[in-house]
């Protein structure tokens, strides 16, 4: 039976889960959730995700939310049909995967999501204007984070080591938008970061999931 | 003259060598012991010490005094390029980010103490642990960290608490804690019937919240309060809490 992912295809957190499903060649159904009608706060969706957010996930009787937790489940369940993206067979490798996943969640995500909200979400969904001060501060913050990434990626091909892992994929959803924005230079100006991104963006799963996903210009 | 070593002999020798390397590495780790770089009042440092204590692992706490800027010195940045505490050193393994470190501790010492990641469980059981670990990281962590900083840490550093900030963060945290109250009405611990890393990762910040007037956020929610009383009475937590200097 196909698993179900509830969420809009453009939602960055939903994309995180879809990337993992595509990388593992899993069958799934995407059930759209309409933010414009407040569907994410409706009782049926709150039963799936009590925080009223997307994505939510269903596999038979199992209901999950939080994209990073859903992704770990998907990567374990379909382990035999795709790349080993969690490296749970090796204590040292999985420790590096988990470390860079935490860096993504704690350092990278906070800076890059703030940029995305100002330049893409506010204008398009709320008819607002980007707060240039917030953008500038977030760009500076992200730049410092990317300096650490540049140093790391000059020593290893991917974040956790010389192997692709979920830690790399988890960066894709927001990065996809920012490299198509006026702030692409954050990535273009750092040669190892640039090469790393181009490697991720060349993957078929990335192309499939982001085809038709609008990016801010 | 043809080589007298076949491909399968080379492969066998390589497997034996890497097994020996792993054994040597384990021996080195045991000899060197576990070091945690941090401060005894830092919630993220305490998060790691709590996990080590649940597993009964001996460790050395190496003080990195943020007040002197030790965390921005080159020798520390070589361990954590983001210049934050804690860092864990276990032989050749050097890790930062407390939540990632705790996954490592739970995995390496899976056989000792509680099975903190339910590594012996079904995919669904393991997913429940991951889910509540993410809820701590994404929903609970930001408002409680901001509230505790404003109400407790700032005054300790000589600053003045901004009551409006405390109220705003408390309002956000209340909505999150309503979800926890509903969950804990159905389940003894966050991920299910057993104490896991999902519960443990909440303890250090909740401990500090209980020292502020906003402890009422917990005491007013009966299932959340019962959960807090249970997890904070664990022997390993009492040992950890005894090391927090206030």
> Is A105 close to B137, i.e. CB distance below 8 A?
yes
Which chain B residues touch A89 with a CB distance below 8 Å? none
Q: What is the DSSP letter of B23?
A: H
Does pLDDT of A165 surpass 60? Answer: yes
What's the mean pLDDT when you consider all of chain B? Answer: 94
The predicted structure's pLDDT at residue B113: 95
Tokens of B101: 């470190």
Instruction: Report if residue B9 sits inside a domain.
Output: no
Domain end point (choices B46, B81, B108): B108
Residue B113 lies in a domain: no
Report yes or no on B17 lying in a domain. no
> Which residue in the set B103, B137, B179 is minimally distant from A50, CB to CB?
B179
Same domain membership, residue B219 and residue B145: yes
Residues B228 and B129 in one domain: yes
At a CB cut-off of 8 Å and minimum separation 6, what does A66 contact?
B130, B131, B134, B135, B138
Residue B2 pLDDT > 90 = no
- The answer to which of A176-190, B10-24, B161-175 has the lowest mean pLDDT is B10-24
Q: Please state the rounded mean pLDDT for residues A46-60.
A: 98
Confidence of residue B18 (pLDDT cuts 50, 70, 90): confident
| Mean pLDDT computed over A146-169 | 98
- B67 and B170 in a single domain? The answer is no
Separation between Cα atoms, residue B69 and residue B123, nearest integer Å: 43
End position of a domain, from candidates B44, B74, B108:
B108
The answer, yes or no, to whether residue B64 has pLDDT greater than 90, is yes
Count other C-beta atoms under 10 Å from residue A28's C-beta. Answer: 18
CB contact under 8 A, A73 and B82: no
Chains A and B form CB pairs within 8 A to the count of: 74
**Domain end position, chosen among B108, B132, B159:** B108
What is the pLDDT averaged over residues A189-193? Answer: 98
**Closest by CA position to B92, among listed B45, B47, B26:** B26
Instruction: Please tell me the predicted confidence (pLDDT) of residue A216.
Output: 39
> What pLDDT was estimated at residue A200?
98
B157 shares a domain with B90:
no
**A144-153: average pLDDT:** 98
Task: Name B96's bridge partners.
Answer: B87
Is B228 found in the same domain as B127?
yes
> In terms of Cα–Cα distance, which of A101, A118, A102, A90 is closest to A177?
A118
Quick one: chain B helix, strand, coil %, rounded to 5? 60, 5, 30
Instruction: Say if residue B131 is in the same domain as residue B192.
Output: yes
Task: Give the closest residue to B240 by CA, choosing from B216, B215, B206.
Answer: B206
Sheet holding B59-63, edge to edge: B59-63, B34-38, B87-90, B93-96
Average pLDDT over residues A32-50: 96
CATH number at B216 reads 1.20.1050.10
Distance from CA of A110 to the nearest CA of B (A): 10
Into how many domains does chain B fold? 2
Q: Are residues B45 and B97 in the same domain?
A: yes
Q: What string of DSSP letters covers A78-136?
A: TGGGS---S-TT-HHHHHHHHHHHHHIIIIIHHHHHHHHIIIIIHHHHH-----HHHHH
Same structural domain for residues B92 and B147?
A: no
Q: Is B127 on the interface with A (CB under 8 A)?
A: yes
Question: Is A66–B134 a contact, with Cβ atoms under 8 angstroms apart?
Answer: yes
Are B61 and B155 found together in one domain?
Answer: no
Q: Which domain holds residue B90?
A: 28-108
Considering the domain architecture, whether residues B89 and B153 belong to the same structural domain is answered as: no
Percent of chain B with pLDDT over 70: 98
Given a cut of 80, whether residue B31 has pLDDT beyond it is: no
Q: Is the pLDDT of residue B10 over 60?
A: yes
Q: Are residues B142 and B230 part of one domain? A: yes
Report pLDDT for B13.
76
For A148, the closest of B81, B133, B134 (CB atoms) is B81
pLDDT band at B27; cut points 50, 70, 90: confident
Residue with tokens 């009966």: B222
pLDDT at A206 over 60: yes
Q: Is residue B8 part of a domain?
A: no
In A104-118, which positions are buried (b, 16+ CB within 10 angstroms) versus exposed (e)? bbbbbbebbbbbbbb
CA A35 to each of CA A8, A125, A139, B175: distance values in angstroms, whole numbers, following the listed order: 8, 10, 28, 20
For residue B42, the domain's CATH number is 3.40.30.10
**Does residue B244 sit within a domain?**
no
Examine residue B246 and state whether it is found in any structural domain, yes or no. Answer: no
User: Does a structural domain hold residue B2?
Assistant: no
Same-domain check for residues B128 and B224: yes
Band (pLDDT 50/70/90 cuts) for residue B142 is very high
For residues A156 and A162, the answer to whether their CB atoms sit within 8 Å is yes
B185 contacts chain A (CB < 8 A): no
- Identify the band that residue A217 occupies on the pLDDT scale cut at 50, 70 and 90: very low
Chain B residues close to A64, C-beta within 8 Å: 127, 131
Chain A residues whose beta carbon lies within 8 Å of the beta carbon of residue B135: 51, 66
CB pair distance less than 8 Å for B130 and A101? no
pLDDT score at B57: 97
Is residue A213 scored above 90 in pLDDT?
no
Let me know if residue B189 belongs to a domain.
yes
């Amino acid at each position: 039976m196909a698993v179900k992912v509830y969420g809009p295809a453009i939602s960055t957190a939903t994309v995180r889960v879809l990337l993992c499903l595509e990388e593992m060649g899993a069958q799934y159904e995407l059930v759209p959730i309409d933010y414009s009608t407040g569907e994410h706060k409706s009782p049926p969706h709150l039963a799936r995700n009590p925080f009223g957010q997307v994505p939510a996930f269903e596999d038979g009787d199992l209901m999950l939310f939080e994209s990073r937790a859903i992704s770990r489940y998907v990567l374990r369940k379909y382990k035999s049909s795709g790349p080993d993206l969690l490296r749970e067979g090796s204590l040292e490798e999985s420790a590096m995967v988990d470390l860079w996943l935490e860096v993504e969640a704690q350092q990278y995500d906070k800076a890059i999501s703030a940029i995305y909200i100002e330049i893409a979400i506010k204008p398009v969904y709320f008819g607002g204007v980007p707060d240039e001060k917030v953008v500038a501060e977030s760009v500076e913050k992200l730049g410092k984070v990317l300096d650490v990434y540049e140093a790391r990626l000059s020593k290893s091909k991917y974040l956790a080591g010389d192997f692709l892992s979920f830690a790399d994929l988890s960066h894709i959803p927001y990065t996809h938008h920012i490299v198509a924005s006026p702030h692409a230079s954050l990535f273009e100006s750092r040669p190892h970061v640039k090469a790393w991104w181009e490697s991720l963006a060349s993957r078929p799963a990335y192309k499939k999931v982001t085809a038709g996903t609008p990016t801010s210009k | 003259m043809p080589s007298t070593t076949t491909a399968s002999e080379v492969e066998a020798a390589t497997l034996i060598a890497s097994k020996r390397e792993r054994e040597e590495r384990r021996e080195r780790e045991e000899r060197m012991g576990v070091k945690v770089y941090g401060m005894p009042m830092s919630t993220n440092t305490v998060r790691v010490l709590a996990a080590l204590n649940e597993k009964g692992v001996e460790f050395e706490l190496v003080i990195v005094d943020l007040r002197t800027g030790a965390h921005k010195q080159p020798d520390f940045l070589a361990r954590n390029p983001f210049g934050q505490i804690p860092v864990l050193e276990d032989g050749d393994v050097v890790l930062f980010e407390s939540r990632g470190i705790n996954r490592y501790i739970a995995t390496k010492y899976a056989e000792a103490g509680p099975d903190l990641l339910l590594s012996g469980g079904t995919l669904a059981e393991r997913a429940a642990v991951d889910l509540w670990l993410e809820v701590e990281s994404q929903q609970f962590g930001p408002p409680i960290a901001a509230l505790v900083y404003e109400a407790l840490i700032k005054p300790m550093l000589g600053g003045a608490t901004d009551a409006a900030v405390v109220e705003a963060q408390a309002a956000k945290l209340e909505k999150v804690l309503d979800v926890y109250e509903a969950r804990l009405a159905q389940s003894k611990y966050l991920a299910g019937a057993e104490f896991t890393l999902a519960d443990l990762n909440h303890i250090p910040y909740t401990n500090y919240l209980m020292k502020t007037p906003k402890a009422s956020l917990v005491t007013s929610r009966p299932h959340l309060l019962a959960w807090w009383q249970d997890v904070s009475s664990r022997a390993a937590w009492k040992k950890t809490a005894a090391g927090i200097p206030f």
